Amino acid sequence: MTLEVIKLLRTALVASVAWTAAAQAADCPRAGALGTSRILGVDPAATPRVGLKSFPQTLPLGDHEVVLTFDDGPWPATTSRVLAALAQECVRATFFLIGRNASAHPALVRRMAAEGHTIGHHSFAHPNLKYLKPAAAEAEIDKGIAADELALHGVATTTPGTPFFRFPYFESTPHLLDRLQSRGIAVFGADLWASDWEPKTPQAQLKLLTDRLKLAGKGIILLHDPKAQTAAMLPAFLRYLRDNHYRVVHLAPAPRGAGIARVP
């Protein structure tokens, strides 16, 4: 590593940390609520892939810091309950949307954004992209992005306003990972999850998730807002985070040039 690269890394790191520290979440009007502790800017050029369930690296979170992410929405009956629970605790999350659902429920997509949540992308119809031909897989990704953008902004574009993508089933290929990186789109895995695709009571799901969080101590958490058991469990989980001194970190795209420089 040359001296110039080291200096560049140091300068970019200082800029990133300064921006993250300055971008604090708005104060919560409800005393005693969990709240959102800070906003973390994610630069796809610096962190093209995150989440220890899939990749060697994750986000730079401190002890007892968590990021809440939800997949597969929007789904009116349950997503509305999830949004209400988050609003009650002044917590912001990232939603990775299925384009087909976003097309069916655009008002709910706009509500997510209006309430301060980040909108990521999760394909159009949730196929396993690993088993599609590369061109078909990328077309499925683009169709989902375009549907999400149309629901959110009224314009169907394959250039996402928020360049965050999560693979259905966490199944990717080296080719697709490289293509998304070349397009400046960060790929999100997760550090732990609630396994809420398996039927269980809200109480059993809460115990499973809190036990896993105790072991991990921090991380990107995966949940699914279309799941009724998740919507029912979420208020208790947010209270658990508050009572056990966890801090919620909200994700947003980093300003251009604010992220840590990636060494070629």
Q: Where in the sequence numbering do the catalytic residues fall?
A: 71, 224
pLDDT at 208: 98
**Of 190, 225, 205, which Cα lies nearest the Cα of 117?**
225
Residues 95, 139 contacting (CB under 8 angstroms): no
Could you list the residue range(s) of the whole structural domain that residue 112 is in? 3-253
CATH number, domain with residue 240: 3.20.20.370
The SS3 call for residue 105 is: coil
User: Collapsing DSSP states into helix, strand and coil, what is residue 247?
Assistant: strand
Place of tokens 């890394």: 9
Look at residue 261 and tell me if it is in a domain: no
Please check whether residue 260 lies inside any domain of the structure: no
Residue 258 lies in a domain: no
Residue 37 lies inside a defined structural domain of this protein? yes
User: Does residue 169 have a pLDDT over 70?
Assistant: yes
Residue type at position 28: C
| C-alpha triplet 236, 75, 54: angle, nearest 5° | 70
Residue 179, in any domain of the structure: yes
Contact 241, 37 (CB under 8 A): no
The mean per-residue pLDDT over the stretch 12-27 comes to: 43
- The model's confidence at residue 258, banded by pLDDT at 50, 70 and 90, is low
% residues pLDDT > 90 (the chain)? 84
Q: Is 264 within the bounds of a domain?
A: no
Q: Is 161 domain-assigned?
A: yes
User: Is position 205 within any domain?
Assistant: yes
Percent share of the chain, pLDDT over 70: 87
**Total domain count for the chain?**
1
**Is 80 exceeded by the pLDDT of residue 2?**
no
The distance of Cα 41 from the centroid of its chain, to the nearest Å, equals 12
What does the alpha-carbon distance between residue 142 and residue 132 come to, in Å, rounded to a whole number?
14
Q: In terms of Cα–Cα distance, which of 213, 72, 189 is closest to 82?
A: 72
Over the stretch 94-150, which tens digit does the pLDDT of each residue have? 999 999 999 999 999 999 999 999 999 999 999 999 999 999 999 999 999 999 999
Q: Considering the entire predicted model, what is its pTM? A: 0.89
